[in-house]
Chain A
Amino acid sequence: MRLRALPGLLVVALLAACGAGGGSATGATSNSPAERTLTVFAAASLKGTFTRIGEEFEAANPGVRVTFSFAGSSDLATQIGEGAPADVFAAADEKNMAKVTGQSLTAGDPVDFATNVLEIATPPGNPAGVRSFADLARPGLKVVVCAAQVPCGAATETVERSTGVTLAPVSEENSVTDVLGKVTAGEADAGLVYVTDVRGAGDAVTGVEFPESSRAVNTYPVTALKDAADASLAKGFVDFVSGPQGRDVLQDAGFGAP
């Protein structure tokens, strides 16, 4: 008896799953002026700032709801290329933005809206006494960096090349947050992350700025996408991010001006 109900249950489960998906999809593309939804795909490092900018944008545009998908820029670029329903894309570097512009998926040229540079993060109080970039090459020091394949790793490589200091990291992580995690967990003596990550981590880490970081400046571009459900709303968000209100929030978090 119970087994005979199984296929029926399966069908019900499938219908329920599809129904739920379909329901939210119609909600997202609804044209009613009372509730317009803007979907923003943004680099993981923008989570804090874009959440605030989104709130301010909603306050300035009644009836608009901004939803975010935060992930690595490379993942987001791939998802957009595969047809993910995004209205705006903000990347952590120009290379990943180029993947999207290269497929002619953007509406207009991307706008550079922020810059970020590397900073050394150490456990609170900097127990290993790291003072400079060259200190990171000290034997016995456990340094964690980003892999060369991800933007923060590319920046790390640029600084290494320009300073002639070759690091021997104990791990090359896939994202800057993973590097930060190894430092806040106390597993690493030092890690190379962005200025904004150090500021965002608060007391969990101690930051050590180094002048050579200016040799690898990371530029963040944002753009409205061609397939945006509401082109003017998407354009409005891009202007808002690169305008004075967005700039304020970004500057507070430690981002530089483009």
Chain B
Amino acid sequence: MLPRWVLVPAAIGLLLFVLPLLGILSRVPWSRFPALVTSDSALTALQLSLRTASASTVLCVLLGVPMALVLARGRVPGARVLRSVVLLPLVLPPVVGGLALLWALGRRGLLGPTLSVLGVEVGFTTAAVVLAQTFVSLPFLVLSLEGALLTAGDRYESVAATLGARPGRVLVRITVPLVAPGLLSGAVLAFARALGEFGATLTFAGSLQGVTRTLPLEVYVQRETDPDAAAALSLLLVVVAVVVVVAVRGRRSTV
């Protein structure tokens, strides 16, 4: 039972997404497309993007699941402040995120000297790309999982606890299976966001083929001299993101 006028702004909103996509399609040089997306630099960038986005998704799960649990179930003081902090990377301009990472972990950053002593230099490495991507993707995982946890409620957990299950067992046997779909969709969102990360990566990690130049950075470089290649690679990026999101989300809706 929706009022019919809702359709109008909804359609305009949809158009705002669809039109730019059509814009990309209109600029893709179809005859050169196969050659452009299989060029050495394109494949290197795609591979690096898939590798780093996967790594940062794993990091997001490892760090984000406990964070979401603490936020939703932890009853810690200041949870609201904590939630705002988790949200921060979502609202920060990516370049600010990159600078913040630089000032924290760069050579002259807060932890830079300490890291140097340990023989670790993050700047200009693939690890820096993963860190930048994790920084911007983590909120997606934490928020969707927290939402799932709140929706699921803690009824089954309480029952399990009264039956004598220890907290660790409750977590593994009850909580995690209960919110598995939420965790999956959160992880997919995080992966897609990591795949598209640009500003923080460029600022924090730099841009070097095979090491830090992910697909979005490759698009940015190609745009200078070869707009055709930039268009083809943009489409490639969109397709990869859509395939990932549809594959996982589509499967989830049939469960």
Residue A182 at the chain B interface, CB threshold 8 Å: yes
B residues in contact with A147, CB < 8 Å = 207, 221, 224
Contact, CB under 8 Å: B225 / A149:
yes
Contacts A7-B9, A149-B225, A171-B207; is A187 near B202 (CB within 8 Å)?
no
Contact, CB under 8 Å: A144 / B9:
no
Residue B124 at the chain A interface, CB threshold 8 Å: yes
Complex: chain A residue closest to B222, CB-CB: A149
A residues in contact with B14, CB < 8 Å = none
Q: How far apart sit A204 and B128, CA to CA, in the bound complex (Å)?
A: 24
Name the contact of A171 in the complex, choosing from B12, B124, B220, B223 (C-beta under 8 A): B124
* Interface flags, B210-232, vs A, CB<8A=1, else 0: 01110000001111110100000
Contacts A147-B221, A149-B222, A174-B221; is A185 near B108 (CB within 8 Å)?
yes
Complex: chain A residue closest to B217, CB-CB: A174
* Interface flags, B28-49, vs A, CB<8A=1, else 0: 0000000000000000000000
Name the contact of B207 in the complex, choosing from A6, A74, A142, A173 (C-beta under 8 A): A173
Residue B106 at the chain A interface, CB threshold 8 Å: yes
Q: How far apart sit A6 and B208, CA to CA, in the bound complex (Å)?
A: 47
Q: Give A151 Cβ to nearest chain B Cβ, in Å.
A: 9
Contact, CB under 8 Å: A173 / B220:
no
* Chain B: interface residue total (CB-CB under 8 A): 26
Most A CB contacts (10 A, CB to CB) among B8, B12, B221 go to B221
B residues in contact with A144, CB < 8 Å = 206
A residues in contact with B8, CB < 8 Å = 7
Name the contact of A186 in the complex, choosing from B9, B108, B227 (C-beta under 8 A): B108
* Interface flags, A123-153, vs B, CB<8A=1, else 0: 0000000000000000000101001011000
B residues in contact with A78, CB < 8 Å = 227
Residue A169 at the chain B interface, CB threshold 8 Å: yes
Contact, CB under 8 Å: A169 / B221:
no
Q: How far apart sit A178 and B9, CA to CA, in the bound complex (Å)?
A: 40
Contact, CB under 8 Å: B9 / A171:
no
Residue B182 at the chain A interface, CB threshold 8 Å: no
Residue A34 at the chain B interface, CB threshold 8 Å: no
* Interface flags, B194-214, vs A, CB<8A=1, else 0: 000000001001111101110
Residue B123 at the chain A interface, CB threshold 8 Å: yes
Contacts A149-B224, A174-B207; is A6 near B106 (CB within 8 Å)?
no
Contact, CB under 8 Å: A74 / B206:
no
B residues in contact with A230, CB < 8 Å = none
Residue A172 at the chain B interface, CB threshold 8 Å: yes
Q: How far apart sit A173 and B209, CA to CA, in the bound complex (Å)?
A: 11
Q: Give A171 Cβ to nearest chain B Cβ, in Å.
A: 3
Contacts A10-B9, A144-B206, A147-B207; is A187 near B222 (CB within 8 Å)?
no
A residues in contact with B211, CB < 8 Å = 170
Residue B187 at the chain A interface, CB threshold 8 Å: no
Which chain A residues (32-84) contact chain B, with CB distance < 8 Å? 72, 74, 78
Residue B17 at the chain A interface, CB threshold 8 Å: no
Q: Give A75 Cβ to nearest chain B Cβ, in Å.
A: 8
Q: A171-B206, A172-B206, A173-B206 are in contact. List 20 more A-B contacts (CB 8 A).
A: A7-B5, A7-B8, A7-B9, A10-B9, A74-B224, A74-B225, A147-B207, A147-B221, A149-B222, A170-B206, A171-B124, A172-B207, A173-B202, A174-B220, A174-B221, A185-B107, A186-B108, A187-B102, A187-B108, A187-B123
Q: What are the 10 tightest A-B residue pairs by CB atom distance, in nearest-first order?
A: A171-B206, A149-B224, A170-B124, A186-B108, A149-B225, A187-B123, A74-B224, A171-B208, A147-B221, A186-B107
Question: 6 A-B pairs, CB-CB below 8 angstroms?
Answer: A72-B224, A142-B124, A170-B208, A173-B206, A173-B207, A186-B108
The chain B residues found within 8 Å of chain A, CB to CB, are 5, 8-9, 12, 102, 106-108, 123-124, 202, 205-209, 211-213, 220-225, 227
